[in-house]
C-alpha cells in the first residue's frame, strides 16, 4: 500500500515546539530539545495522528507518551481535547510536565505508569504511538482489549506500530528499536511486532470499524497508522 502520509512539521514549527524542552540554564542538557526537534521535523507521525483525531472532542489518553509531543502537536493544530499522557520513564514525564507548563497547555496532564503492570482508568479516545512492540503477544492483547474498552462513542483509538510482515522495512524497524535500547535511549527492548490480520480480527470482533495505512514517510521504517472507531 502506498504511503500517503502528510509531511512532517516544517523546520520552523518543529523548532517552536522543541523550544519548550530547552533546559532552564544555558549549559543545561539539551538532549530532549534536539530529540524533539529532529523527531518533529522528520517523522510524519504527529500530523497523521492529528488528522485522525480532528473533529473529536473526547478526552485523549496517550499511552507511552514519552515527552508528550503529541499534546504540543494537537495544540498547534487547534485540536482542543483534554490530554493525559502516561509513560514508565519518570525522567520523560518530568520534562513532559515542564514543557507543557511552559507552553501553557492547561488541559494536559502526565503521570508515571508502567503499562506492563496496569492501565489507567479512562473513557474517551486513546493513542498508543510506537509502544506496542515493547510487550509480549499476550500482553499486547491485554492492552488492545483494555484500550477498546475505553473507547466512547465517537471517540477514536489511534495506534502507530511496526507490523510483523517480514519486510526489509520491518527488519530495519526492529534493528533500530534494539539499538535504541542498547544505547540507553529506550528503557525497554522490543519484544514483538503485531500481526495486522490478528489486530483487525480483534477490532472486528469488538464491532469496531478500523483502517490500516502506512505511516513512515521518508523514514526507512515499517510504521503503520491504525485507527479504530466505535460508531
Ligand atoms: C518510541 S517511544 C514513543 C513515545 C511517544 N509515544 C511518541 O510517539 O512521541 C516509546 C515510549 O514507550 C514507553 N514505554 C515503553 N515501555 C513502557 C511501559 N512498560 N510502560 C509505559 N511506557 C512504556 C517508553 O518509555 C517511550 O517513551
Q: What is the CATH number of the domain that holds 41?
A: 3.40.50.150
Q: For 111, phi and psi rounded to 5 degrees?
A: -145, 150
Please tell me the predicted confidence (pLDDT) of residue 1.
66
Give the total number of structural domains in the chain.
Answer: 1
Would 6 be classed as within a structural domain?
no
- 135-171 pLDDT, tens per residue? 999 999 999 999 999 999 999 999 999 988 888 998 9
Residue 55 has a CB neighbour count (10 Å cut-off) of: 9
Least confident of 49-63, 133-147, 164-178: 164-178
Residue 2 lies inside a defined structural domain of this protein? no
* Domain membership of residue 91 as a residue range: 11-229
Measure 139 CA to ligand 1 centroid, in angstroms. 15
For ligand 1, the distance from its centroid to the CA atom of residue 135, given in whole angstroms, is: 11
197 within a domain of the structure (yes/no): yes
Q: Is residue 40 lining ligand 1, measured as CB closer than 6 Å?
A: no
Give 166 Cα–ligand 1 centroid separation in angstroms.
24
Is residue 2 over pLDDT 80?
no
Residue 21 included in any domain: yes
Is residue 3 one of the residues assigned to a domain?
A: no
Summarised one tens digit per residue, pLDDT across range 63-102 is 999 999 999 999 999 999 999 999 999 999 999 999 999 9
Q: Residue 215: inside a domain, yes or no?
A: yes
Amino acid at each position: 500500500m502506498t504511503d500517503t502520509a502528510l509531511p512532517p512539521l516544517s523546520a520552523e514549527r518543529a523548532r517552536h515546539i522543541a523550544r519548550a524542552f530547552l533546559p532552564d540554564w544555558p549549559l543545561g542538557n539539551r538532549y530532549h530539545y534536539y530529540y524533539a526537534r529532529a523527531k518533529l521535523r522528520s517523522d510524519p507521525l504527529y500530523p497523521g495522528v492529528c488528522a485522525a483525531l480532528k473533529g473529536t472532542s473526547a478526552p485523549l489518553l496517550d499511552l507511552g507518551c514519552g515527552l508528550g509531543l503529541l499534546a504540543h502537536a494537537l495544540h498547534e493544530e487547534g485540536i482542543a481535547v483534554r490530554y493525559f499522557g502516561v509513560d514508565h520513564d519518570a525522567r520523560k514525564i518530568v520534562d513532559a510536565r515542564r514543557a507543557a507548563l511552559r507552553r501553557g497547555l492547561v488541559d494536559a496532564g502526565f503521570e508515571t505508569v508502567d503499562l506492563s503492570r496496569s492501565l489507567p482508568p479512562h473513557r474517551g479516545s486513546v493513542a498508543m504511538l510506537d509502544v506496542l512492540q515493547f510487550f509480549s503477544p499476550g500482553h499486547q492483547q491485554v492492552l488492545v482489549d483494555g484500550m477498546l474498552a475505553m473507547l466512547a462513542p465517537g471517540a477514536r483509538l489511534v495506534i502507530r506500530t511496526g507490523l510483523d510482515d517480514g519486510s526489509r522495512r520491518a527488519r530495519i524497524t526492529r534493528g533500530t528499536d534494539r539499538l535504541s535500547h542498547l544505547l540507553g535511549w529506550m528503557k525497554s527492548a522490543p519484544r514483538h511486532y503485531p500481526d495486522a490480520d490478528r489486530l483487525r480480527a480483534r477490532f472486528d470482533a469488538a464491532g469496531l470499524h478500523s483502517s490500516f495505512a502506512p505511516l513512515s514517510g521518508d523514514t526507512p521504517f515499517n510504521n503503520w497508522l491504525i485507527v479504530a472507531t466505535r460508531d
